[in-house]
Chains A and B, each alone.
Chain A
Amino acid sequence: MEKRDELLTLIEKNSRIDVHELSVLLGMEEAEVANTLSALEADGVICGYHTLIDWSKTSNEKLTAMIEVRVTPQRGHGFDQIAERIYKYPEVTSAYLISGGFDIMVILEGRSLKEVAGFVTDKLSTLEEVISTATHFILVKYKDHGTILSKKYEDKRELITP
């Protein structure tokens, strides 16, 4: 793997590793790491440094819904314009154009069932291009962004082996 890609996979898992530690782990100069990071940020390869939070363990529980949306594409704009109308809503955390039985997958975070339902009925369904929606609520998040949320790593090995 190229150093640049290795750097990306490292900070994708843990964005808090500092430049010094990255330089040690990758066998690179600190300045080189810093420059590479700046370049990746400037090029939009690195789009942000987020934290993976299991909200279900807080009192501020959030509800995540995945909504399949079928839409009518528009001449000249395809799906882009309608997608933009949807993803501009701040409660939409992700939006993807999807191949297969429907067109756009919208992932939504809301505080309550009512809030999500409100979004679907008042905002999404009323858009002229939207033909239909199907809303799925996430009941348990087992694994998110490659991280298993429920279980802690446990070393099952003997303590000393040859």
Chain B
Amino acid sequence: MRNPLSDTIVNIPPSGIRKFFDIVQDMPDAISLGVGEPDFDTPWHVRDEGIYSLEKGRTFYTSNSGLKELRTEICNYMKRSQNLVYSWDTQVLITVGGSEGIDLAFRAMINPGDEVLIPQPSYVSYEPCAILAGATPVIIELKEENRFRLTAEEILEKVTDKTKILVLPFPNNPTGSIMEQEDLEAIAKVILEKDLIVVSDEIYGELTYNGKRHVSIASIAGMQERTIVIGGFSKAYAMTGWRLGYVCGPQEIVRQMTKIHQFAIMCAPTTSQYAAVEALKNGDEDVAMMRAEYNRRRRFLLEAFAEMGLSCFEPFGAFYVFPRVKEFGISSDEFATWLLKDERLAVVPGTAFGKCGEGFIRISYAYSLENLKVAIERLKNFVTKLQR
């Protein structure tokens, strides 16, 4: 038989996370700090609304762009959280998770040979999606001394005549790093000067701590017209399994994204859309409760790291910490593998999120304090052994 496969996809390596998942699967006594999703259940009133929509028989397709009511609620949310005005019927598209938004944005904008700037460490799908869309990904290696924030100089180092898109993955998975107003203003200048389009993945936008509210790059002067904001319900409302996200952006880009969505997906799940309307209307308190709980866990972990002599910059977003393990003279992969073998504790090596994640591990605090305490004991045992 002839080779049935596409060379493009065959040449893309599988996600580095997969390998660990396979090992952990075979260890029934292992505990994990390796998940990228909330431990909370979707708030009951939101689930109830989904159930109610099913009882009412709302089981048909919605329009390609999504329910009008949901798109309107998203516009209200963008207004109240970022003071950004979007038109519900031309600038908003409901997607199957934030992930679909990333894929659509690349496919709608990229011509062969275009370069996409991707800061790493970051979520695993930007690079493969850019390649699948025909772009050349160009990696910007974020640095710990900058607290993994992106600087104007770093963009300038990598930008060429072919650069078209900058991915902005903040609040960041896996580092927990955020970009504050002044950080964004500094890079906005370069973005304007180099005429770049920004794909801003703000899926963790509701999860920032210690009073540092998330600022969208679209709210910086001159940026809204060149920014695709990607949002979703998974992280803020603990709705990962509902597979629901959205994009807000300039009409001409959203129109083309909608076309791809229309042919590839048709529409996002109807039940999820009804539930999401309820989440946006009445979910602020749930988010505040979860945010407060994450913040306590974040403080707990940072304190525990300090006590065991594990260095870690203070992250203010998402639900990850990214401690440094370079000092122990082994690779991230070895650290994670041995930690799993010796102490039955699973974490994700930083390299799963880009080469420059070497020397770090990602620890998720989407776990109850009770569980974190048990896990931290195991980590401490391991680190103490290495320190000897």
CB <8 Å contact, A1 and B288: yes
Q: Interface residues of B, CB < 8 Å — how many?
A: 29
Give the CA-CA distance A25 to B288 in the complex, in Å: 16
**Chain A, 8-31, CB within 8 A of any chain B CB:** 10, 21, 24-27
In the assembled complex, the Cα of A159 lies from the Cα of B32 at a distance in Å of 6
Cβ of B288: which chain A residues have Cβ within 8 Å of it? 1
Report A24 CB to chain B, min CB distance, Å: 5
4 new A-B pairs (CB below 8 Å) besides A160-B32, A160-B35?
A24-B299, A160-B346, A162-B15, A162-B125
In the complex, A155 Cα to B35 Cα: how many Å?
A: 11
Cross-chain contact of A155 among B17, B25, B30, B39 (Cβ < 8 A)? B39
Interface of chain A: mostly helix, strand, loop or mixed = loop
A154 to chain B, nearest CB (A): 11
Option from B34, B124, B303, B352 in Cβ contact (under 8 Å) with A24: B303
Q: Is B292 an interface residue (CB 8 A)?
A: yes
B266 / chain A contacts, CB cutoff of 8 Å: none
Select one of B39, B124, B292, B300 contacting A162, CB under 8 A.
B124
Q: Is the CB of A161 within 8 A of B292?
A: no
> Known interface pairs A155-B39, A157-B37, A159-B25. Does A24 touch B32 (Cβ–Cβ under 8 Å)?
no
Contact B296 A161 (CB under 8 A): no
B residues lining the A interface (CB < 8 Å): 15, 17, 20-21, 24-25, 30, 32, 34-37, 39, 123-125, 173, 210, 288, 292, 296, 299-300, 303, 346, 348, 352, 368-369
Query: Main secondary structure on chain B at its contact with chain A?
Result: mixed
- Given A1-B292, A157-B39, A27 and B34 touching (CB < 8 A)? no
A6 interface residue per 8 A CB criterion: yes
Residues of B within 8 A of A24 (CB): 299-300, 303
5 contacts between A and B (CB under 8 A): A160-B17, A161-B34, A161-B36, A162-B15, A162-B173
Q: How far is the CB of A136 from chain B (nearest CB, A)?
A: 26
Q: Indicate which residue in B34, B124, B303 contacts A159 across the interface (CB closer than 8 Å).
A: B34
A158 within 8 A of B: yes
Q: Is the CB of B296 within 8 A of A160?
A: no
Q: Are A25 and B36 in contact (CB under 8 A)?
A: no
**Chain A, Cβ-Cβ closest to B41:** A156
Q: Is A153 an interface residue (CB 8 A)?
A: yes
| Contact across chains for A26 and B17 when beta carbons are under 8 A apart | no
Give the docked Cα–Cα distance between A24 and B306 (Å).
12
Residue of A1, A21, A162 ringed by the most chain B CB atoms within 10 A: A162
For chain A, residues 126 to 159, give those with C-beta under 8 angstroms from any C-beta of chain B. 153, 155, 157-159
Binary flags per residue of A40-53, CB closer than 8 Å to B gives 1, else 0 = 00000000000000
- Select from chain B the residue with minimum beta-carbon distance to A155: B39
Q: How far is the CA of A10 from the CA of B299 in the complex (A)?
A: 14
Which residues of chain B come closer than 8 Å to A157, judged between CB atoms?
Answer: 35, 37, 39
User: B21's contact among A1, A27, A155, A160, by CB below 8 Å, is which?
Assistant: A160
Contact A160 B24 (CB under 8 A): yes
Chain B neighbourhood of A6, CB < 8 A:
292
Residue among A10, A25, A27, A160 with the highest chain B CB neighbour number at 10 A: A160
Task: Say yes or no: A161 contacts B35, CB within 8 Å.
Answer: yes
Cα A26 to Cα B123 in complex, Å, equals: 29
A33 → chain B closest CB, angstroms: 13
Contact A153 B368 (CB under 8 A): yes
The residues of A that contact B300 with a CB separation of less than 8 Å are 21, 24-25
Q: Give 6 closest A-B pairs by Cβ, nearest first.
A: A160-B34, A25-B296, A160-B21, A159-B32, A24-B303, A159-B24
B347 to chain A, nearest CB (A): 9
Question: Nearest CB to that of A17 among chain B residues?
Answer: B369
Whether B210 and A162, one on each chain, are in contact in the complex, defined by CB atoms closer than 8 angstroms, is no
CA distance A21 to B37 in the complex (A): 25
With a cutoff of 8 Å between Cβ atoms, the chain A residues found around residue B30 in the complex are: 159
A106 to B20, CA, bound (A): 56
Of B25, B32, B210, most A-chain CB atoms within 10 Å: B32
- A159 and B292 within 8 A (CB): no
CB distance from B47 to the nearest CB of A (A): 14
Least Cβ distance of B312 to chain A in Å?
15
CA distance A67 to B32 in the complex (A): 48
Residue of B20, B210, B296 ringed by the most chain A CB atoms within 10 A? B296
In the complex, the answer to whether B123 meets A162 with C-beta atoms within 8 Å is yes
CB distance from B174 to the nearest CB of A (A): 9
How many angstroms from the CA of A6 to the CA of B20 in the assembled complex?
37
Q: Chain A contacts of B37 at CB under 8 A?
A: 157, 161
Chain A nearest CB, measured from B157 CB (Å): 27
Contact of B17 among A21, A25, A153, A162 (CB under 8 A): A162
- A157 vs B36: C-alpha distance in the bound complex, in angstroms? 10
